[in-house]
Structure 1
Amino acid sequence: MQPNDLDRIARQIRLRDLQAVFEAGAGHIGGEMSAIDILTALYFRVLRISPDQPKHPDRDRFVLSKGHVALALYVTLAKRGFLPEEEIGTFLKPHSRLNGHPNCTKVPGVETNTGPLGHGLPVAVGMAKAAKLTGAEYHTYVLTGDGEMQEGSNWEAIAAAAQFGLDNLTLIIDHNRFQQGATLKDTNNLAPFPAKLEAFGWDATEINGNDMDEIVPALERRGNRPHAIVAHTNKGHGISFMQDKVDWHHKVPNAEQYQIALAELSETL
């Protein structure tokens, strides 16, 4: 699938995500909007997966470490055929399997439960190491937030991945410059990331994480070391009044704002 096709699908996913947040009255919409282009490129171009066989042993693995943006993953999985698209309407409702954080025992296509930040990358390192031990050819991808990179567990995992020579592992950092309640630079600012990752023995690539022409080749890149993609994105990407606003980390648009966002996202379909 070509970048123009991926852009179209990403816009459709953004629109459904917005609708689901508004209907549910909850969600982490800012970080969902920043990550959707990356998720779209993964699920509709890069990952070797099959909705009919979500546990096929040769499938590529994807771990959403920033698990609070689960809704964006659910909408992507539904669009890809892992879930009925109408099930998105059950998000956060009683007895729904679409909870605020992804659950691998309930939702097909989810590889591991995530939510507590700093857990997904260590799990992904384990998946990649398992492939090396068994001779499997699958590739493991993991998406973290930039604020999440403040967790020490991530840097232990980064050191281990280099030690084990995990060239079958790709880390994507959603570098939208905001976390809950503050900008990254006003908390524990570890940016810029590339030199730090390279010091640990990784290859590092910087891209515009909302541009398919840059996302796709970065995700498809292969080398002889673990690969980190620092994806510069915009919190609330695609919605004018949300973009780069810290208060949209976890907030629901009111009726007037919803109509504005709906119109802006619909214009580009």
Structure 2
Amino acid sequence: MNNTELKAKAIQIRMDLLRMIHGAKTGHTGGSLSNTDILTALYYRIMNIDPARPKWEDRDRFIASKGHSVESLWCILADLGFFSKEELATFSQFGTRLIGHPNNKVPGIEMNTGALGHGLAISVGMALAAKRDGKAYRVFCLMGDGEQAEGSVWEAAMAGAHYGLDNLVGFVDRNRLQISGSTEEVMGLDPLDEKWAAFGWNVVSLDGNDIDALVAALERVPAAIGKPTLIMANTVKGKGISFAENIPHWHHHVPSDEELARALTELKEAAERLARLEGQVR
């Protein structure tokens, strides 16, 4: 996909995840909206994957360490054909595979995650295995910014740099909000980019809701040979929905019928503006 197609896809994924959460009457809405652009760039442009062969040995790996924001991931995997889109209607229902965190019984999921602080360590192990086995696959790990208060994140960061894992890319979804409020009030993190750099990572800070910036950065990986890359993705929690953006309450707020209708209208209008802009450019 080109960048315009990626932007349109991200709008579609936001619409899908909102419908899914509304139908299930549960979910982590704000964080899924903030990470949608990151996952869209990865899955539709950057990662070397094959939905028909989810266990292909040379596939790139993705670990959703902030596993509670799984809704965007479920919608993307269904859209790509890892499983049927009809299964999205079972999200968080009794007996479903599509629970509220990544579940490796589902094709396309590498590990069960959601206990914060573990995903990067898993990713370090996978990237180290690739190096030692002479494999070319890469490992991508998405973390939350509230998750950065977990000490195990920093143990893994130290190991990733020590072993020179330039096949490893970490993301921090830096929306500055967690379930109990502002990250800087709950546990101050800034200057977070400097901390990662001090641990030996190549740090790229960008607008994590900007598809152009994400693609440009990811296509340069590895930008520093012998160093893992950390993308500080400065995002907006609730991105794409005007009345949800930067509102802590939307961490796991389920949209009402009226809120869903308003949100879908805003997203349809965004898609129409994108299409008009593309027409003008052409």
Same fold per superposition (TM over 0.5): yes
Please state how far the C-alpha of 1:253 moved relative to its aligned partner: 1.3
Asked if 2 retains the 8 angstrom alpha-carbon contact of 1:170 and 1:229, the reply is: yes
1:100 equivalent to 2:100? Answer yes
Q: Hey, what does 2:154 align to over in structure 1?
A: 155
Does the residue aligned with 2:70 lie in a helix, a strand or coil? helix
1:196 is aligned to 195
Q: Aligned AA for 1:244?
A: N
**Deviation at 1:192?**
2.4
- Structure 2 gaps of 5+ residues are 272-282
In structure 1, C-alpha distance between the alignment counterparts of 2:64 and 2:266, rounded to whole Å: 27
**Identity percentage over the alignment?**
49
The worse-fitting range, judged by mean Cα deviation, of 243-252 and 188-197 is 188-197
Amino acid at match of 1:172: F
Cα deviation code 1:135-194 (max 9, x no counterpart): 111000000001111100000000000111101100011000100021111111112221
> Are 1:145 and 1:173, in contact at CA under 8 Å, matched by a contact in 2?
yes
Which residue is equivalent to 2:120? 121
Whichever residue aligns with residue 5 of structure 2, its letter is: D
AA of the residue aligned to 1:205: V
Query: What does residue 179 of structure 1 align with?
Result: 178
Which AA in structure 2 matches 1:29? T
Tell me which residue corresponds to 2:56. 56
d(CA) in 2 for partners of 1:192 and 1:39? 25
* Equivalent residue letter for 2:258: E
Q: Over aligned residues, Cα RMSD in angstroms?
A: 0.8
Q: What is the correspondence of 1:1-269 to structure 2 with a 5 Å cutoff?
A: 1-104=1-104, 106-221=105-220, 222=222, 223-224=224-225, 225-269=227-271
Task: State the alpha-carbon separation in 1 of the partners of residues 103 and 20 from structure 2.
Answer: 18
Measure, in 1, the Cα distance between the counterparts of 2:21 and 2:196.
34
1:262 CA displacement: 1.6
- Count of equivalent residues: 268
4+ runs deviating over 3 angstroms = none
Contact 1:175 1:233 in 2 (8 A): yes
Please state how far the C-alpha of 1:119 moved relative to its aligned partner. Answer: 0.7
Report deviation, 1:72: 1.1
User: Which consecutive unaligned segments of at least 5 residues does structure 1 have?
Assistant: none
SS of 1:73 mapped into structure 2 = helix
SS at match of 2:129: helix
